[in-house]
Amino acid sequence: FKPIEPDIRIQPQGVIVMSESLHVVCPACDAVNRVPRERLGAAANCGKCHGPLFLGQPLALDESRFARHLSRSDLPLLVDFWAPWCGPCRMMAPAFEAAAARLEPNLRLVKVNTEEAQALAARYGIRSIPTLALFRGGAEVARTAGAMDTNGITAWARRAL
């Protein structure tokens, strides 16, 4: 896990205040934003495109966007590896969306279509779908296969962190 650089601010009275900042990749333009940890729950916006940094729903990522979110964000990524022809994947989609609303801003939930990102699925050894993989600091820390409901996804992600 990458160390978090302190954000140093000098108050008008000359008092130096340090707070931890996190790097958060924008879901719209993929710009890297520095967000103070205490402002994660607030309505943080991207410094480049001015869109919200947290949407409360999963992001659909291709291989290049996945690489950027994985390597540049300090937020853990919960990835749903899925395919459009997979019945259990389609059944789990609403639960994964509801889990995103519960887990953001502490995690970024993303979906990777294994039909479109076959090299990515091969790199991570995805053998069955749906597969949920949790990444932290650029490395996979937990994995589970099979469809789950919203409570199952949320509980599994919190335990795995």
Catalytic site residue 49? no
Contact 50, 98 (CB under 8 A): no
CB atoms within 10 A of CB 12: 5
8-state DSSP, 54: -
Three-state secondary-structure class, residue 107 = coil
Cα separation, 104 vs 58, whole angstroms:
10
Cα separation, 158 vs 161, whole angstroms:
5
Catalytic site residue 86? yes
Long-range contacts, stretch 37-45, CB < 8 angstroms, 24+ apart: 37/4, 40/105, 40/106, 41/105, 44/105
Residues 6+ away with beta carbon under 8 Å from 119 = 63
* Residues identified as active-site: 86, 89
